[in-house]
Amino acid sequence: MTTRREREQQVVVEGRVVADFGREFLVELADKRQLVCTRKGKKQDAACGDFVEVKLTGSAQGSILRVGTRRNLLFRSDEWREKTLAANVDQVVILLAPKPAFSEAFLNLSLVACEAARIPVVIALNKSDLPEHAASLKSLALYSSIGYTVIAMSAKGDISALKPLLEGKLSLLVGQSGMGKSKTVNALVMTDVARVGELSASLGSGTQTTTFSRMYRLDRDTAIIDTPGFQSFGLFHLTEDQIGEAMREFRPFLGTCKFNDCAHRNEPGCAVIAAATAGKIKAERLSFYQVLLEQHRELHENHPDWMDK
């Protein structure tokens, strides 16, 4: 005889979220079985890459009971909502292209988000077969000079520069629409990713097909998570200090400004501005930071109650 409590415990299993459809999640169990799961409560706090405990509610259905402790979590936010991209990843690949031309603001915002979440970054400039690629790659020298890995690749042709960087890791692929994420996933996975859309439709909400993150396993130790393309990487959730610390080349100078609460805008005795004047910090990056900070302050002044939501 088993007690009711024992029976309940028997149907709780552990797994990993391999797709996030917004209101529903696909959870993979150790035996590779996949369950379509819901998350109880209003807060949809599970993310692709999360380790979870699931209560079975049907042969292929479940309900996520608990989300395991995360190593990291990447998300974006504006004044209205937060959007989770993925959890527990080893690195983020920011995919750019020369045509349509990538937005440098998007690149910088993505870098700030990754730094704040303490996730290493690879910057990949796709479409190396296009004539515009060389000039675009040259413009990225600024990012290699501050320590980021920058690679050139073509999802249509040669992805050999990207492949070894993915080995043994879980990489999250982000990028604006049109940079070639789907093509890159196709080239890496070599299956028809259209099948993902069909799967989403079968989950009962075809409209969500463009708003999810999904994991693809490339081999036993290597996987990627694809995210939908988006145009802006909101950082409403960060504090001003976190934004300063996320500018990696600022770090040697932080804490050495005249004022403890220096925001590196125009304060006297600012070590960051002095470093920029001396050429140790690139003017473009200081300017990006100052504009971001200004916009951030304005948004927070207009939404002072955000933290209470």
Ligand X SMILES: Nc1nc2c(ncn2[C@@H]2O[C@H](COP(=O)(O)OP(=O)(O)OP(=O)(O)O)[C@@H](O)[C@H]2O)c(=O)[nH]1
CA-wise closest residue to 221 among 171, 169, 166? 169
Work out which of 129, 132, 221, 284 binds ligand X, going by CB under 6 A: 129
**Token pair recorded at residue 284:** 């473009």
Contact between 126 and ligand X (CB under 6 A)?
Answer: yes
Task: Give the nearest distance from C-beta 181 to ligand X in angstroms.
Answer: 3
> For residues 93 and 263, which CB has a smaller minimum distance to ligand X in the complex?
93
Task: Give the nearest distance from C-beta 272 to Zn ion in angstroms.
Answer: 4
Phi, psi of 200 (to 5 degrees): -60, -40
Enumerate residues 170-209 that contact ligand X by CB under 6 A: 175, 177-183
Question: Binding residues for ligand X, how many (CB under 6 A)?
Answer: 16
- By a kind-dependent CB cut-off of 5 to 8 A, residue 203 interacts, out of Zn ion, ligand X, none, with none
Residue 103: HSE in the Cβ half-sphere, 13 Å Cα cutoff: 14
Strands (DSSP E) contained in 169-277 are 170-175, 213-219, 222-226
Task: Give the nearest distance from C-beta 15 to Zn ion in angstroms.
Answer: 47
Rg of the chain over all Cα atoms, to the nearest angstrom = 21
Neighbouring residues of 134: CB distance < 8 A, sequence distance ≥ 6: none
> For residues 159 and 257, which CB has a smaller minimum distance to ligand X in the complex?
159
Task: Give the nearest distance from C-beta 301 to ligand X in angstroms.
Answer: 33
Work out which of 55, 71, 156, 300 binds ligand X, going by CB under 6 A: 156
CA distance 95 to 174: 6
> For residues 133 and 285, which CB has a smaller minimum distance to ligand X in the complex?
133
Contact window for ligand X (CB under 6 A) among 125-133, 135-143, 252-260, 290-298: 125-133
Contact between 262 and Zn ion (CB under 5 A)?
Answer: yes
- By a kind-dependent CB cut-off of 5 to 8 A, residue 98 interacts, out of Zn ion, ligand X, none, with none
- By a kind-dependent CB cut-off of 5 to 8 A, residue 179 interacts, out of Zn ion, ligand X, none, with ligand X
CA-wise closest residue to 154 among 184, 126, 118? 126
Neighbouring residues of 83: CB distance < 8 A, sequence distance ≥ 6: 75, 76, 77
Contact between 110 and ligand X (CB under 6 A)?
Answer: no
* Mask for 221-250, x = binds ligand X (CB under 6 A): --------x---------------------
- By a kind-dependent CB cut-off of 5 to 8 A, residue 126 interacts, out of Zn ion, ligand X, none, with ligand X
Neighbouring residues of 96: CB distance < 8 A, sequence distance ≥ 6: 102, 107, 123, 124, 125, 126, 136, 140, 175, 179
> Between 283-302 and 104-116, two packed helices, what is the crossing angle to 10 degrees?
70
**If DSSP codes are grouped into helix, strand and coil, which group holds residue 84?**
strand
> For residues 62 and 175, which CB has a smaller minimum distance to ligand X in the complex?
175
Binding site for ligand X (CB under 6 A): 126-127, 129-130, 154-156, 175, 177-183, 229
Binding site for Zn ion (CB under 5 A): 257, 262, 264, 270, 272
